[in-house]
Amino acid sequence: MPRYNPAVIEPKWQTYWESNKTFRCPDMPVGEKVYVLDMFPYPSGEGLHVGHPEGYTATDIVSRYSRMRGKTVLHPMGYDSFGLPAEEYAIRTNTPPRVSTEKNIANFTRQLKMLGFSYDWDRCLATTDVAYFKWTQWIFLELFDTWFDPVRQKGRPIAELPIPEDVQAAGENAVAAYRDRHRLAYQDEALVNWCPALGTVLANEEVIDGKSERGGHPVQRIPLRQWMLRITAYGDRLLSDLDSLDWSPSIKKLQADWIGRSTGAEVDFPICSPDAFQAWKTSRATKPFPEVQPEDSIRVYTTRPDTLHGATYMVIAPEHPLVKKIVTPAQQAAVTAYCEAAAFKSDRDRTDGDKKKTGVFSGAYAINPVTGAPIPIWIADYVLIGYGTGAIMAVPAHDDRDFEFATAYSLPVVCVVSPDASGEELQQILEGKACYTGPGKAMNSGPLDGLGTEDAKAKMIAILSEEGIAKGAVNYKLRDWLFSRQRFWGEPFPILHELDANGNPTGRMRPVDRDNLPVDLPQLEDFKPHGRPEPPLAKAADDWLYVTIDGKRYRRETNTMPQWAGSCWYYLRFIDPKNSTALVDRAKEKAWMPVDLYVGGAEHAVLHLLYARFWHKVLYDRGHVSQPEPFQKLVNQGMILGEVEFTGYQKSDSSWVSTSSLEKGDNGLVDRVSKEPVEAVKVDESAVTKVGDCFVLLSDESIRVDSRAHKMSKSRGNVINPDSVVSEYGADSLRLYEMFMGPLEATKPWSTKGVNGVRNFLDRVWRLMIDTQSDTNQLVDAIQDVPPTAEQNRVIHSTIMNVTRDIESLGVNTPIARMMEFVNFFTKESVRPKCAMETLVLLLAPYAPHIAEELWEALGHSKTLAYEPWPTFDEAMTKASEVEVPLQINGKVRAKVVVPADATGEQLEAAARGHERIHELLDGKQIVKAIVVPGRMVNFVVK
């Protein structure tokens, strides 16, 4: 009987690996170590998606390959299990989040084991494990206990923070407040996206068009006291250390853009009458540039200090504290209305570049500190409170946004940079009728005149620094990380707020003693959010909520940490998952870190990877880890799309409209001619054909249809479930197919026929060795214990060489093609040397481990092949004794000649000249040059 039957052999080997602890990883590496890490999944109720096994198979191949190369491999798996979806689900089904989370984890674990990944399951963890988040809280306390020393560019213990004398003098509370202001984890009044329906603040990227991404509920911007992490302090290091990483340029660039470092200057503009300007200037010249913006001026950040003479007005954000102070009575009503409207827009909404710029005049004027001219102060939401100082100097001649605004409100435009242009264009710019943002020569700019843009910037900063009016400054788009959420299903903050005798907060806080960690979540009957920004944990019983220490009463912090917290350090815990005295043992950490290969989706290119790098650097500064960066090599797997679909478009009378005659109407697509709306209709593959570059209907070739693979989604109904693929084709086929689809990093469409194709290959591998007529796994007669022939050896050795080389460079698809060629070749051989079969099985093992183990056993081995030495090759054996070499004339192949593989250039050229047809073609021509590449080609250049 025995046909290849994955349904039997796959569970058999999974059980074998599990009961023999085949993939248990020792505490400390023996010899060379490799740490191969997957981005751990969020255990959703839907279970594994086919996208998950793609990256997981790639890392499993590397892990299994590395073991066979004798390395010690750390290859763990866990779950990122805190978060909003679990909680929403819990609310809907009225079950505690922990219950549904554990159920989902069990399902994920079943599915992952079903795919035969070689994880060390003893190291499995979930961020929701109390024993795990104890250390998440511990790290939070470390952040709380750290300040950033800008001189040393390093996080240091808060106890080492120098306290200025005046603060010291102001007493204990002032010192405590000073410390609190400098911690990496600090509380601050922040403008947040508050969603009353979800009962939580949301990150900017969770808000779309002023509505929550989840549920589409309205979102408001309100000020709330929130926990923040001072990631901006690490901006420079997060940026510059990217250079040391083996990451794709595109991911590095995404991170660099997100950090968004820019250099320029901060400049103060006095708010006073022109008469008082000289006095202001004189008083400024006596002192250095003030640390904090004085009341009598507006501080702006600019990257173009060279254009200061062209600043004809100023704009401050609607939330800017000065708005209330400077607005004139006549403008009061208009300003209030404008600011209120702005409050209802999210950051994203407001920064939508397509929108027309709006603004309102405050009635007040400031003085341009270099020209002495009064300039109006406007309020507009194109200026963001969160970036720079929340105020700008507007130079409409040299900034597109300012120009657009100036045009809309008829504000003056003064050109101060002579552009690199000519004719009409130059004239327009000089007259202030067009905007020029590029570099040029300074003009109308007093002492800067004639200088190039870079020199002018430097000179302006130098002059104004001298006068105490400005200083050079660096800014980041990166904001401090808003770290608290008003939800139940997250890590509680290990922070206590001191209460006075009346039960009111004193404003002082203390960390929970580290011995008292973890702070577990309270049991709550009702963990639902409500419409107020008061976290659900506030509903906990008093014995959880209130703590008395040394006679003082405290109330626990009731916010929880965001989902990102747990994933910031899980890779460290995998090294030492059971440690109860430290987050990770120092010696083990040193032995295993950094992660040598980290694979996951590109959706984490910015947030997760930036947050984790930030935490890691803090832990590094505080001496808990030995390396400045956690992830040495990062690879982003591409997305797997659904099967290719053909879509035609029909009018209401069912007549077809070609995609070439569609246009965008007000409500979707319409026929360009009749403007009638059309409906998208799925067309079967058999009903279309390709003509030229387009697919058209077979029934009417004038009707073009769309051909596209779409992202898998429930609503589209094109989701492929790994469970059903495994039950129909087997786990090895799924693994093999996902690798065979194409390069790991590419986006590629699913094809069920393709799965069938690789299954077919595994069937052929099986029949190559197993006699399907027999009742047991009897080897076919062709397999004999004989040495391979020269030709067989060439196939064996070149297959080993190519497979090895490609796995090393993470080329996952091409080794499969090589193995297919191997099988195609040996299928035709009536004598199949046993050693050749063993080689194939070992090469196949990282890809399709179950069938490989089964065949290894059939070949007479009694234990797992997981630690068998990887086959080696002799490059000399890969070469044929004779090669066919193309002969070209002027770069065109005209003939081929067979020569010994080791033929020299002279021999090859002689053979080429001697070739009958080449001789013929060269007759009467003058050979200008002969290019001979031994073993590859000959090219005669003739006239």
Partner RNA sequence: GCCGCUGUGGCGAAAUGGCAGACGCAGCAGACUUAAAAUCUGCUGGGGCGUAAUUGCCCCGUGUGGGUUCGAGUCCCACCAGCGGCACCA
Judged by CB under 7 A, does residue 741 bind RNA? yes
Measure the CA dihedral 422/427/428/430, to 10°: 110
User: Which positions from 676 through 735 interact with RNA, judged by CB under 7 A?
Assistant: 690, 711
- For residues 314 and 394, what is the distance between their CA atoms, to the nearest angstrom? 5
Give the contacts of 816 (CB within 8 A, at least 6 positions apart): 736, 739, 740, 758, 761, 847
Name residue 495's beta-bridge partners. Answer: 511
Coil, strand, or helix at residue 795?
helix
Site string for RNA, 170-209 (x = CB under 7 A): -----------------------------------x----
> Where does this chain touch RNA (CB under 7 A) — which range of 489-497, 647-655, 749-757, 842-850?
749-757
Residue holding tokens 């010291």? Answer: 168
Which residue, 18 or 882, has its beta carbon nearer to RNA? 882
Judged by CB under 7 A, does residue 299 bind RNA? no
Contact indicator for 850, 841 with CB cutoff of 8 Å:
no
When binding is defined by CB under 7 A, the residue of 169, 746, 786, 901 that contacts RNA is 746
When binding is defined by CB under 7 A, the residue of 210, 452, 754, 900 that contacts RNA is 754
CB of 827 to RNA, least distance (A): 5
CB of 881 to RNA, least distance (A): 15
Judged by CB under 7 A, does residue 905 bind RNA? no
- Sheet containing strand 634-637, edge to edge, reads 72-74, 33-38, 597-601, 634-637
Which residue, 97 or 815, has its beta carbon nearer to RNA? 815
When binding is defined by CB under 7 A, the residue of 196, 210, 743, 900 that contacts RNA is 743
When binding is defined by CB under 7 A, the residue of 119, 147, 740, 856 that contacts RNA is 740
Judged by CB under 7 A, does residue 477 bind RNA? yes
Judged by CB under 7 A, does residue 764 bind RNA? yes
CB of 128 to RNA, least distance (A): 27
**Ranges of H-type helices in 743-895:** 752-769, 790-808, 814-827, 834-844, 849-858
CB of 736 to RNA, least distance (A): 10
Which residue, 269 or 493, has its beta carbon nearer to RNA? 269
Coil, strand, or helix at residue 140?
helix
- Residue 833 host element (H or E): strand 832-833
**47 in the Ramachandran plot: left (φ > 0), alpha (ψ -120 to 50) or beta?**
left
Angle subtended at Cα 86 by Cα 80 and Cα 89, rounded to the nearest 5 degrees: 165
User: Which positions from 844 through 873 interact with RNA, judged by CB under 7 A?
Assistant: none
> Where does this chain touch RNA (CB under 7 A) — which range of 86-94, 533-541, 623-631, 755-763?
755-763
CB of 930 to RNA, least distance (A): 9
Judged by CB under 7 A, does residue 384 bind RNA? yes
When binding is defined by CB under 7 A, the residue of 20, 427, 760, 872 that contacts RNA is 760
Coil, strand, or helix at residue 217?
coil
Judged by CB under 7 A, does residue 397 bind RNA? no
Contact indicator for 172, 217 with CB cutoff of 8 Å:
no
Question: For residue 469, what are the CA distances in angstroms to 394, 605, 685?
Answer: 17, 40, 70
Name residue 884's beta-bridge partners. Answer: 898
Site string for RNA, 818-847 (x = CB under 7 A): --xx--x--xx-------------------
When binding is defined by CB under 7 A, the residue of 119, 277, 382, 631 that contacts RNA is 382
Judged by CB under 7 A, does residue 471 bind RNA? no
Which residue, 758 or 841, has its beta carbon nearer to RNA? 758
Judged by CB under 7 A, does residue 886 bind RNA? yes
When binding is defined by CB under 7 A, the residue of 24, 181, 325, 355 that contacts RNA is 355
Which residue, 401 or 617, has its beta carbon nearer to RNA? 401
When binding is defined by CB under 7 A, the residue of 776, 891, 923, 926 that contacts RNA is 891
Contact indicator for 61, 22 with CB cutoff of 8 Å:
no
CB of 713 to RNA, least distance (A): 12
> Where does this chain touch RNA (CB under 7 A) — which range of 297-305, 512-520, 655-663, 844-852?
297-305
Judged by CB under 7 A, does residue 403 bind RNA? no
Question: For residue 288, what are the CA distances in angstroms to 264, 284, 295, 298, 472?
Answer: 18, 8, 16, 17, 13
Judged by CB under 7 A, does residue 816 bind RNA? yes
Which residue, 317 or 769, has its beta carbon nearer to RNA? 317
Angle subtended at Cα 595 by Cα 853 and Cα 110, rounded to the nearest 5 degrees: 45
Contact indicator for 451, 461 with CB cutoff of 8 Å:
no
Name residue 36's beta-bridge partners. Answer: 597
> Where does this chain touch RNA (CB under 7 A) — which range of 37-45, 63-71, 615-623, 744-752?
744-752
CB of 783 to RNA, least distance (A): 16
- Spatial CA neighbour of 557 closest among 622, 511, 618: 511
- Does the CA dihedral 826-831-837-843 come out positive or negative? negative
**848 in the Ramachandran plot: left (φ > 0), alpha (ψ -120 to 50) or beta?**
beta
Which residue, 86 or 360, has its beta carbon nearer to RNA? 360
DSSP string, 76-138: --EE---SHHHHHHHHHHT--HHHHHHHHHHHHHHHHHHTT----GGG-EETT-HHHHHHHHH
Rg for the chain (alpha carbons), in Å? 35
User: Which positions from 227 through 286 interact with RNA, judged by CB under 7 A?
Assistant: 249-250, 253-254, 257, 260, 262, 264
When binding is defined by CB under 7 A, the residue of 360, 392, 697, 783 that contacts RNA is 392
> Where does this chain touch RNA (CB under 7 A) — which range of 44-52, 332-340, 562-570, 736-744?
736-744
Residue 606 burial (10 A CB sphere; 0-12, 13-18, 19+): middle
When binding is defined by CB under 7 A, the residue of 226, 894, 903, 909 that contacts RNA is 894
Judged by CB under 7 A, does residue 225 bind RNA? no
- For residues 456 and 444, what is the distance between their CA atoms, to the nearest angstrom? 12
N- to C-terminal Cα distance for the chain?
69
Judged by CB under 7 A, does residue 878 bind RNA? no
When binding is defined by CB under 7 A, the residue of 22, 293, 303, 718 that contacts RNA is 303
Which residue, 147 or 476, has its beta carbon nearer to RNA? 476
CB of 786 to RNA, least distance (A): 21
Give the contacts of 144 (CB within 8 A, at least 6 positions apart): 158, 183, 184, 185, 495, 511
> Where does this chain touch RNA (CB under 7 A) — which range of 57-65, 614-622, 661-669, 884-892?
884-892
Residue type, 557: E
User: Which positions from 633 through 672 interact with RNA, judged by CB under 7 A?
Assistant: 644
User: Which positions from 147 through 176 interact with RNA, judged by CB under 7 A?
Assistant: none
Residue 814 burial (10 A CB sphere; 0-12, 13-18, 19+): middle
> Where does this chain touch RNA (CB under 7 A) — which range of 225-233, 342-350, 481-489, 528-536?
342-350
- For residues 578 and 572, what is the distance between their CA atoms, to the nearest angstrom? 12
> Where does this chain touch RNA (CB under 7 A) — which range of 420-428, 438-446, 540-548, 807-815?
807-815
- For residues 879 and 901, what is the distance between their CA atoms, to the nearest angstrom? 7
Judged by CB under 7 A, does residue 813 bind RNA? yes
Which residue, 382 or 656, has its beta carbon nearer to RNA? 382
Coil, strand, or helix at residue 345?
coil
CB of 677 to RNA, least distance (A): 20
| Cα 838 to the center of its chain, rounded Å | 41
When binding is defined by CB under 7 A, the residue of 893, 901, 914, 925 that contacts RNA is 893
When binding is defined by CB under 7 A, the residue of 54, 399, 576, 738 that contacts RNA is 399
- Does the CA dihedral 588-590-591-595 come out positive or negative? positive
User: Which positions from 909 through 928 interact with RNA, judged by CB under 7 A?
Assistant: 917
Number of residues that bind RNA (CB under 7 A): 91
Judged by CB under 7 A, does residue 751 bind RNA? yes
Please count the residues of the chain.
943
